A = this chain, B = another copy of it.
Amino acid sequence: MGTEKMNTEARRRQIAEAALELIARQGVKELRVAAIARHIGLVPSALYRHFRGKDAVVDAILELLRARLLANVAAVRAETDDPLEQLRRLLLRHVELICTYQGILRLILSDEIAGAAPIRRRAAYSVLQAYLHEVAAIVRSGQKAGVIRHNAEADTVAVMFLGLIQSGAILWHMSGGLFGLEKQARSGWRVFRESIVARDDGARRGKKAAGRDT
Contact = CB atoms under 8 A, between A and B. Distances in A.
Interface in A187-213: 187-197, 199, 201-203, 205-206, 209-211, 213
A188 B109 contact: no
A206 B205 CA distance: 13
Specify how many copies of this chain sit in the oligomer.
2
Most chain B beta carbons < 10 A, residue from A27, A121, A186, A188: A188
B171 A167 contact: no
A153 B111 CA distance: 36
Contacts of A106: 109-110, 114-115
Given A114-B174, A163-B164, A163-B166, A156 B187 contact: yes
A67 B163 CA distance: 24
Contact of A164 (B160, B190, B194): B160
A157 interface: yes
A186 B211 CA distance: 11
B195 A205 contact: no
Interface of A: 27-29, 88, 105-106, 108-111, 114-115, 118, 121-122, 124-125, 128-129, 132, 149, 152-153, 156-157, 159-160, 162-168, 170-171, 173-176, 184, 186-197, 199, 201-203, 205-206, 209-211, 213-214
Nearest to A167: B163
B192 A160 contact: yes
Contacts of A176: 118, 121
Most chain B beta carbons < 10 A, residue from A165, A170, A186, A189: A170
A210 B190 contact: yes
A194 B195 contact: yes
